[in-house]
Amino acid sequence: MLELSNIDAGYGGFQALFGVSMTVKAGEAVAVIGANGAGKTTLLRVISGLLPATAGTMTMEGVSLRATPPHKIISTGIAHVPEGRRLFPRLSVENNLKIGAFIPAARQKFAERLAFVYELFPRLKERRAQLAGTLSGGEQQMCAIARALMSGPKLVLLDEPSMGLAPVIVAQVFDLVRRIRGEGYTVLIVEQNVRQVLRIADRAYLLEVGRLKASGSAAELAASDEIRKAYMGI
Amino acid sequence: MRIPKTALIGVPILLLVPLAVRFAFPAAEKYYLHLLIQILIWSFIYTGWSLMGRFGLTSLGHGAFTGIGAYVMVLLWNYAGITPWIGIPVAIVVSIIVALLVGYPCFRLRIVGHYFALLTLALTEFVRLCIVGLRDYTGGSLGTQPRRFGDGVSLYALQFEPDRVLSYYVALALWALGLYVWWRIDRSMDRYALDAASQDEDAAASVGIDVTREKLKITAISAAMCALGGAIYAQYQMYIGPDTIAGLSVSLNIVFAVIAGGMWVMLGPTVGAVFTQVLSEVLRVTIQNSAALQKVFGSAVLALDTMIYGLLLILFIIYMPKGILGTLLERREKKQETPLVPAKAGTRS
């Protein structure tokens, strides 16, 4: 579904990604793990076009992403749930969802998808008139995921969904991710919370200072001594 | 579409105003109509500005657009004999082009907030300097007049100034057009897109909003409205000067009036126009009639109104950021809500 090969990217003179190649197949949940500053967020920003890649190729179902402007990426079926949720804080929950269905193809199916999202996350239905900025952290994450689903994506990019949340809520957020997987969405998730994310992913890539260091099934990586030592504190 | 009750009552009242003025102030009919016409034309210009202002695009450059509207139309009429029916569309197109030329790099490079305000401020000054510099045609800082056609009332020359009642209806139509544009935009998907973009540009782009395009669209509409307003204002005043219809004083006046009236409600700019026009008239009359004030301040008394404006602007921004109408509506809403949601003071420890 998603194919990256030899992607370079950076900020100004600083290169953050070096020749990253990866694939995500339809129906998979793929995790990208790594420490702070490894380039995980950069990778997702490159895929969703917010940061232009400087070299390499990137396709979504055969469509070149590097040739697609940022606001058109979503029409290829990729929805990005950015780091730190990035809701529109002064809009109501429902208006956030409405904007999630901004692209013309999604607007027609707005009512249908809204019903679906409210069924998936009943809490959001209760809070629909509330300003998004006044939701709790877990609810904001829920709203951010729901907003992404409103565009009817095939692939959902999740950037650190557990960031800044209390441990109890983190478990709930991973449960949300499991639920959207269950609905048939393909998921590419970036996380520092290695132990938890390897439980819900099928495969994972390990990113270290901008380079892919390892890849394999989630179970393999979770069993690897090196990763257990460096990222799980065991 | 359901017509709201306020419109059902309001429209006939507004149409009958000239009659009411005639009965109420038979001696000063012209003066009061003049005041109303000024309010309506400026309301239209203010409404045009508020389309950008409400989405965080605080422009100090709209004096440039009103100036372009007025000057392009008048110069085409005076020197080429081109009727304002063509001159105004040309003026609108010119001001849209200028708006896009300035807007595109701004929005592409994500110049927002203070920097956007500064950049647009420079635009205002640039246009004013052009007007002053081209003094052979524009009359420089003294301004110029549209050439009068016949007895001054003409459909061909779009001149109506001597007939105050007619002018009132022209201004009223313009004002209504402004509200219609505001209302259309308020109900469009573009409004959501711009609201989103003003809060988080990255997130807006990632849900598929072409932020640059949306901003350019609203800027073009806003500039076009100000150009049209400037042109109609020129036709009504039958005089244009770099300080009355172009330049920084106009830009600041627009911003002040809209902030005072309320940026986020449809009639906010109108309330702002009523407030500023009445205020400036009251100040003018007070200053003119008061020998004491003139004695104390000397010739500086003429700048007194500007000083009071500045002071009020600061007070509004601090204490009433939603403006007069915005604050009033909010209060009313809260009052209506209170019985439904009783305050739960003391239930939480």
Q: Which residues of B touch A49 (CB under 8 A)?
A: 205
**How close, in Å, is residue A226 to chain B by CA atoms?**
36
Count other Cβ atoms within 10 Å, centred on residue A133: 12
Q: Rounded to the nearest 5 degrees, what angle is found at the Cα of A187, between the Cα atoms of A186 and A189? A: 170
User: CB pairs below 8 Å between A and B: how many?
Assistant: 68
Whether residue A191 is predicted with pLDDT greater than 80 in this model: the reply is yes
pTM of the predicted protein model: 0.87
pLDDT value of position B131:
94
Q: Does A99 touch chain B (CB under 8 A)?
A: yes
Q: Record the tokens describing residue B241, joined without a space.
A: 């000067």
3-state secondary structure chain A: CEEEEEEEEEECCEEEEEEEEEEECCCCEEEEECCCCCCHHHHHHHHCCCCCCCEEEEEECCEECCCCCHHHHHHHCEEEECCCCCCCCCCEHHHHHHHHCCCHHHHCCHHHHHHHHHHHCHHHHHCCCCEHHHCCHHHHHHHHHHHHHCCCCCEEEEECCCCCCCHHHHHHHHHHHHHHHHCCCEEEEEECCHHHHHHHCCEEEEEECCEEEEEEEHHHHHHCHHHHHHHCCC
Q: Does A73 touch chain B (CB under 8 A)?
A: yes
pLDDT value of position B48:
97
Which of B207, B337, B340 to mutate against chain A (most A CBs within 10 Å)?
Answer: B207
Task: Nearest by CB to B206, from A74, A89, A106: name it.
Answer: A74
Q: Does B333 touch chain A (CB under 8 A)?
A: no
pLDDT value of position B222:
97
ipTM surpassing 0.90 = no
- Does residue B228 contact residue B92 with C-beta atoms inside 8 Å? yes
Look at A89 and B199 and tell me if their CB atoms are within 8 Å: yes
Q: Does A74 touch chain B (CB under 8 A)?
A: yes
Q: Kindly tell me the burial class for residue B189, based on how many C-beta atoms sit within 10 Å of its own C-beta (0-12, 13-18, 19 or more).
A: middle
pLDDT value of position A234:
62
pLDDT value of position B280:
85
Q: Does A87 touch chain B (CB under 8 A)?
A: yes
Q: What percent of chain A lies above the pLDDT cut of 90?
A: 54
Count other Cβ atoms within 10 Å, centred on residue A97: 23
Helix (H), strand (E) at residue B324: helix B323-337
- Give the whole-angstrom CA distance, residue A127 versus residue A118: 10
Look at B202 and A50 and tell me if their CB atoms are within 8 Å: yes
Residue in chain B closest to A80 (alpha carbons) equals: B206
pLDDT tens, chain B, 349 aa long: 567 777 788 888 888 888 888 888 888 888 999 999 999 999 999 999 999 999 999 999 999 999 999 999 999 999 999 999 999 999 999 999 999 999 999 999 888 889 999 999 999 999 999 999 999 999 888 999 999 988 888 899 899 988 999 999 999 999 999 999 999 999 998 999 999 999 988 889 888 899 999 999 999 999 999 999 999 999 999 999 998 899 888 999 999 999 999 999 999 999 999 999 998 888 888 887 888 877 887 777 777 777 888 888 889 888 888 999 989 988 888 877 654 444 444 333 3
- Does residue A210 contact residue A18 with C-beta atoms inside 8 Å? yes
DSSP for B193-222, written as a single string: HHHHHHH-HHHHHHTT--HHHHHHHHHHHH
Whether residue A196 is predicted with pLDDT greater than 90 in this model: the reply is no
Q: Does B255 touch chain A (CB under 8 A)?
A: no
- Indicate the domain borders of chain A: 2-231
Quick one: DSSP state of residue B240?
B
For domain A2-231, which CATH number applies: 3.90.78.10, 3.40.50.720, 1.10.238.10, 3.40.50.300?
A: 3.40.50.300
3-state secondary structure B41-92: HHHHHHHHHHHHHCCCCCCCCHHHHHHHHHHHHHHHHHHHCCCHHHHHHHHH
